[in-house]
Amino acid sequence: MATPLDGIDVVLADLDGVVYAGPHAIPHAVESLNRAAQRVRVGYVTNNASRTDESVAEHLRDLGLNVVTNDVVTSPQAAMALLRDLAPAGSTILVIGGEGLTSEVSKAGFVVTDSALDKPAAVIQGFSPDLGWAHLAEASFALNAREPGASEGIPWIATNMDWTIPVARGVAPGNGTLVSAVHLAVGRLPVVAGKPELPIFEEAKRRFATDNMLFIGDRLDTDIKGADAAGMKSALVLTGIDHAKQALAAPPGSRPTYLLDDLRQLHEPYPETVTHPDGSVSVGEAHVVKRGMELVVVREGTHPLDAVRAACTLIWDSGLAIYGFTVPERLHSYGM
């Protein structure tokens, strides 16, 4: 049996919930990714716009990963491709966010301002833990302004729309909540650079000069959905936001190629999925059947996750919504 790494040129790993939670490494992540780097290129992709690529790389090195700055792809970097298309070269840009965003805007040749009074050519917004009402208000002032005769306001780019971020103490509000506050004030939505939108995946393809990639993430709505839209294989690792319950209910376009307990399983043979003529599904030694609308685990198998993998395939291939099924609690609660 092949491993998830077989035939792949580049592994792309999300950070929050995959490599670390807050300042600390997730168990088995560092050694597993360093081992992967011995046979394929490994890159790191983050929607978090609060830090520079170098500071992210330094954090990863402190955790023990073998990383250079160019291995890190950030949503502010992806946003620059959008900004170059939407704003004149060298123009003034209102930046709502931290150093990770302001540094990229400056490197791209734009003038950074934090005041709508400077009549910026565009607004770009990213997460920073220090953002407050005054910063969001400046974005609203700039976006609501109209030049005489203009039908709409200046362009607005968001680095990402993540509603939550995992941190050391738990789950906290993400950039999407802050963007939503501005959206309610201005009555329109931004163009988005980060996952699940394509710009950050296109930036990764340019950076690593291949589209034969495996994307590892912990969220179906950003990581897996974006990878699928970009034509990449994907692995959902159950160490962050989403777990078996969410995987079982994953809609089309957000279903991972692989389901992993942790990153050690990158190096393990991935069991074959077999759909039988009666519609039941086996993964490894696990076997799951549908009786009416009830899922029944006939055999657990030697690895507990295999029954979840089998149940996912059975539900996904049925064309029916998850709420129509009766699912054993041990599958719903797996990994939580």
Position 154, amino acid: I
Write down how long the chain is: 336
Q: 3-state SS string over 124-191?
A: EECCCCCCCHHHHHHHHHHHHCCCCCCCCCCCEEECCCCCEEEECCEEEECHHHHHHHHHHHHCCCCE
Catalytic residue among 6, 9, 14, 130: 14
**Residue 289 CB partners (closer than 8 Å, separation 6+):** 278, 279, 280, 295, 296, 298, 314
Q: For residues 78 and 186, what is the distance between their CA atoms, to the nearest angstrom?
A: 24
Tokens at 328, concatenated: 């054993």
Q: In the chain, which ranges are continuous DSSP H helix?
A: 29-36, 53-63, 75-86, 99-107, 133-144, 175-186, 198-208, 225-229, 244-248, 304-318, 329-332
- How far apart are the two ends of the chain, measured CA to CA in Å? 28
Q: What is the CA radius of gyration of the chain?
A: 22
Annotation marks residue 14 as catalytic: yes
Say whether 56 sits in a helix, a strand or coil: helix
For residue 81, report the phi and psi dihedrals to the nearest 5 degrees: -60, -40
Q: Which of 16, 53, 71, 306 is catalytic?
A: 16
Told to judge if 6 belongs to the known catalytic residues of this protein, a careful annotator would answer: no
Catalytic residues: 14, 16
